[in-house]
């Protein structure tokens, strides 16, 4: 229910979860490819690729739409043009997602307001890797052997 609330970002990045990454394809030149890999490898999240082709990415089965994704979705991470994000947010709400994360450069205040009104946490115009770097600079620790891998300094 928050927008770029640091506590919500901390929670999303430290609680094990299932992240549907909309716009994730096998194209290694696209930012979604490397960011999703780091979300999985560094933060320990399960990633679910969502793109029109529904292709397997990073060994994970892909889906064409959020509606096709079986099971719970904790975070919908949006690597789509701002003009398309409203429809993705509406699908995230319908799927019962817990949060939407609009990547750096992806901004839609109306869609964010709809998501917040539906009870979803909203993060907009930033990247999990930027937020990860900020936390590491603040003294947080990252240890992939630990659950959760990211934790504040003790």
Instruction: Render pLDDT for 33-65 as a digit per residue (tens, 0 to 9).
Output: 999 999 999 999 999 999 999 999 999 999 999
3-state SS, one letter per residue, for 25-53? CCCCCCHHHHHHHHHHHCCCCEEEEECCC
- Distance in angstroms (rounded) separating the CA atoms of residues 78 and 111: 12
Domains in the chain: how many in total? 1
Average pLDDT in the 60-82 region?
Answer: 98
Task: Please tell me the predicted confidence (pLDDT) of residue 149.
Answer: 92
Contact 89, 103 (CB under 8 A): no
Instruction: Give the pLDDT confidence score for residue 27 in this predicted structure.
Output: 97
Q: For residue 103, what are the domain limits?
A: 6-144
Tens of pLDDT, residues 110-141: 999 999 999 999 999 999 999 999 999 999 99
Q: Is residue 1 in a domain?
A: no
CATH number of the domain encompassing residue 111: 3.40.50.720
Domain contains 112: yes
């Amino acid at each position: 229910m928050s927008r770029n609330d640091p506590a919500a970002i901390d929670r999303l990045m430290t609680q094990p979860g299932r992240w549907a990454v909309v716009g994730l394809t096998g194209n290694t030149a696209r930012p979604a490819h490397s960011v999703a890999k780091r979300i999985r490898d560094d933060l320990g999240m399960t990633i679910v690729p969502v793109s029109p082709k529904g292709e397997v990415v990073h060994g994970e089965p892909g889906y064409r739409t959020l509606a096709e994704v079986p099971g719970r979705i904790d975070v919908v991470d949006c690597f789509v043009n701002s003009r398309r994000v409203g429809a993705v947010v509406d699908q995230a709400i319908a799927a019962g997602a817990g949060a939407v994360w609009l990547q750096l450069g992806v901004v839609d205040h109306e869609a964010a307001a709809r998501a917040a009104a539906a009870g979803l946490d909203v993060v907009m115009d930033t990247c999990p890797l930027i937020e990860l770097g900020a936390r590491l600079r603040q003294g947080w620790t990252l240890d992939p052997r630990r659950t959760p891998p990211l934790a504040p300094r003790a």
